[in-house]
Amino acid sequence: VTPALLARAIVAVPAWPLAAAAALGAWWALVGKPSERVTARVVVGSLGLQLASALCALVAFVWGGGDAVHVRSGRWFEAGAYGFELTFLVDALSAPLVVLAALLTFLVAWFSVRYLHREPGFFRFFTLLAVFAAGAGLLFGGGSYDMLFIGWELVGLTSALLIGFFHERRTPMRAALRAITTYRVCDIGLVVGAVFIHDVAHGAAYVEAFGPAPWPHGTLHASAPAATLIVLCLLVAASGKSALLPVGTWLPRAVEGPTPSSALYYCALSVHAGAYLLLRSTPFLRASPVGAACVAAVGLGSAALASMIGRAQVDAKGAIAWASMTHVGLIVAEIGLGFPRVALVHLVAHALLRTWQMLRAPSWLHDELALRAAADGAPLPTGSFWQALVPARALDALYRLAYDRFFFETAQQRYVAGPVLRLGRYLDRAERRWVETVGAWHPPAAPPDSERPSAKNTRVEEAQHEP
Amino acid sequence: VNGLTALVLLPAFAALLTRLAPTSEGARRAAVAGAFATLLASLQVVASFDLGAPGMQMEWAGAVVPWARMQWHVGVDGLSVVLLPLTSLIGVATTLGLPRQSMNRASLAATLLTVSATLGLFVTLDLAWLAVFWLVRLAPGLDLIAATPDPALRRHVRRTWWVFLVAGSAPLFAAVIALGVLGHRAGLAAPFDLVRLTAMGVPRAWQLALFPALVVSVGMRMAVVPFHGWMSVLLEHGPPGVALLITGAHVALYAIARVILPLLPDACAVGMGPLMIAALLCALYGSVVALAQDDLRRMVAYLAVSHAGLMAGGLASMNAQSVAGSLLQSVASGLSLTGLLIIIRALHARTGTSHMDDHGGIARSAPRMSVFFLLFGLAAVGFPTTITYVSEDLLLHGVLDAHPLMAVLLLLATALNGITLLRAFFRTFMGPPPRGAPGGVDDLVPRERAVAFLLTTSIFLGGLYPRPLLEARQPVVTAIVSRTAHRAPHGH
């Protein structure tokens, strides 16, 4: 057994939970819904195996003296000069993150077995969790931007479906739709960025793009403008997934989902996926001072605003979500300022702490009282020093702005979603008129729309709340 | 009799049995058995097909019809061999999977006849026969429309059918006749023979004249904007089984790859660049209109229009990746939109409406219907691990090579399609039911489940292992790209 051979265990990291999800899905389709016990055992078991595989990869990395191992496992498809390579990379960035992801997913799944006991969506939750684990494995362990994208999409879809877990209510549906809309639009940045990288580096694999130098170093063949373009594309993608402002307002609404999945996605892994993407692309950031400055500015701005908004929150999970956004903003700023190792440490520490916080959120009151008893009174909130420097009048205005989340959502609705929907409706009316003219349509006395007394009301309500 | 001829005749024979069966249950059984037999026969053709070999296989030529100079000449290559099982699979899905109330004896027979004509179109190598099948495909549907009970609706659907589909074929007929005249002048025994005409070549001036006519006809049938008006009418009010077969873009795409690209390479080199930009703009247009729909059937119609734009744009950028992607996308789109429409029809049959606002929370009473809708939806928008991801990835790389800025249109269209479908899913299948809505919806019955399972399996197997599909088309793609590449004005 050699380190290179042991590192091939990385291939199994996404494979175990994917197999579990496929098996459960087939069972459900052909036999019926499996029991809680079977579901939990299959998923937690596969996540345990995933953790073991991830640890093997980490051991292989350390044993091999810290040399990156690039694992190729064939081509998925090809046409002309282009082919999709299935590759994995074990290096100083991916090894710790794959282990972190596998560990947190395993722990959260174990925790959820009791937390979601007798919940009607138990089976759905665990199947989606398995798909997520596979996605996270591909995202952090994949060896190319294309592989990362596959994991990215799996994580995004399961994220939206778990936000809408309690589907009897309308608000989780809206939150899920808001999240998936932001993802879909921002993912364009990742696809375009990946294709530019293909063009610049003649391949989307990290070893092809950055050469053999270990992370965070790398040799690039890209010019500064090309690197800037790529960094900006990736920044758009990272803003969607890591909930950086101005597009990240979906995140605090996303904690409508079950507590364990909120912890796993919006405190631990999914929210750091964007930061991982930027960390992975450090050589591009080094080649492009402008791009790096943009990343730092977005990160710092996001952290400052999210921190202010978080202070004006009145619910526990909302406050945790905004605090999570604040730290992700800081991590992104560290990446932009050129401290990738600091950012990596910050990322791991933040993921661990915040996950614990979110999992404890239902016991917040109990914890808070214990803390006050121990501290003999309420401790000063963090940032009180800075808050004292702001004049009182400005503080009022800031509070007002923070309470309304700096009107980001209103602006998204008014200037992006609204116009697109209005354009669509206008074109639809024109279409109907044209087809009715050509097709000689003479509708009966009452048009079918007015037959529904409830239709009009629900439509108005929808229009107000749709992202 | 040649195997391919038998394959074309098989569903027609099944249609005859369906018509003659003594009971309506017997007619149903005959139709389903006929559809399955056609699927098996087309899989047999695929099994005996040699993947790597270029050129036509299983060729067979009969005598030339004296007065029309048509010749029954059949054969398959990598382009058409994939489309045979696809068509038969859609035939199975429609005969078995659509609600019984909408599939009476006449609908079943018409569906099988449409399958037969579609298969004929794919196997014939004679332009005149191709044009005949192009038109004959429309006949069974017209017969069904005549049976629509509501007179206003009947007139509307019939008029749309005539204006867009039948009259839209006229330019194609004119172009085929012109090509036949050309073949006759060159002294060909069978002047419409595609293989010989391709080998002979068409003069440049003729190419430039015929190109617009063919593009209009094909664009009409493919429902590329601005020729797409019939799509929403047909899917909303048309006969369900036949509508499903007629709306598939793979037939028109096949016509481009089989007729326009090989016969008119010079005209393509001139005309395809602008067409690509137009097609991608049209794809985005379809996505924006789809986003605004409140009715699931209309939403799928505009989704299909958007897909048609993407495929036309991919084929028009004429490089190896985009052509392969476009041809694969036609299969992917056919499978996923068929699945979506079968689920929507099932929902419509149970509740009498497919308007999103009339539904909500269906997932509780009909979980399988909801999951299959989600899976088909994901397949329709290019989610990784489905076959559409592969085709859209190839399309994207191809279009980027041809015109980097245009790729943004493609990406915007696919992003919007994703939002459209997930929004429809959340609005229809999740959330609280609207006030006054019926308590619950019956889940898919076993036959519907079987069809949905069959389609999902094809979608995911094709997505995880797309190599055979791509390899089958490889020689055709290479031929198309190399034929047009050296004629491009500035060279690619």
Q: What is the ipTM of this complex?
A: 0.90
3-state secondary structure of A70: strand
* CA gap B277, A218 in Å, rounded: 38
Can you list the positions of beta strands (E) in A61-196? Answer: 69-79, 82-90
Give the residue ranges of DSSP H helices in A250-339: 250-254, 259-262, 270-280, 282-287, 289-311, 316-337
| H-only helix segments in B98-202 | 105-123, 127-136, 139-145, 151-160, 170-185, 194-200
Question: What are the φ and ψ backbone dihedral angles of A203, each rounded to 5 degrees?
Answer: 155, 150
Residue B249 banded pLDDT, cuts 50, 70, 90: confident
Mean pLDDT of B147-152: 85
pLDDT for B15? 95
Closest CA to B291 of A181, A439, A153, A453: A181
The minimal CB distance from A435 to the residues B232, B357, B393 is found for B232
Q: Is the pLDDT of residue A323 over 70?
A: yes
CA distance B24 to chain A (A): 30
Chain A, 422 to 461: residues with Cβ < 8 Å from chain B are: 423-425, 427-428, 431, 434-436, 438-444, 452, 454-455, 458-459
Quick one: chain A helix, strand, coil %, rounded to 5? 75, 5, 20
pLDDT value at position B425? 94
Prior bond of A216 cis (ω within 30°): yes
- C-beta atoms of B321 and A427 within 8 A: no
Q: Which of residues 441-460 of B touch A (CB under 8 A)?
A: 449, 453
Whether the pLDDT of residue A460 is over 50: the answer is no
pLDDT tens digit string along B12-71?
A: 999 999 999 999 999 999 999 999 999 999 999 999 998 878 788 888 888 888 888 888
The pLDDT tens digits for B264-312 are 988 988 888 888 888 888 899 999 999 999 999 999 999 999 999 999 9
pLDDT band at A110 (very low <50, low <70, confident <90, very high): very high
CB-based contact B415 A81, cutoff 8 Å = no
Q: Which of A145, A191, A461 is the mutation pick for testing B, counting most B CBs within 10 A?
A: A191
> To the nearest whole angstrom, how far is the Cα of B328 from the nearest Cα of chain A?
11
In A, which residues are within 8 Å of B326 by CB distance?
Answer: none
Angle between helices B229-237 and B240-247 (to 10 degrees): 150
Is the pLDDT reported for residue B452 higher than 50? yes
| Residue whose pair of structure tokens reads 């004249």 in the numeric block | B209
Please check whether residue A257 touches B, CB under 8 A: no
- Residue labelled with tokens 């005859």: B16
Window 363-422 of A, Cβ < 8 Å to B: 420-421
What percent of chain B stands above pLDDT 90? 52
pTM above 0.95, yes or no: no
Do residues A252 and A163 lie in contact, with contact meaning Cβ atoms separated by under 8 Å?
no
Buried-exposed string B443-460: b where 16+ CB fall within 10 A, e elsewhere = bbeeebbebbbbbbebbb
| pLDDT over threshold 90, residue A444 | no
CB-CB neighbours of A219 under 10 Å = 11
Structure tokens at A79: 């046409």
β-bridge partners, B73 = B61
3-state secondary structure of A87: strand
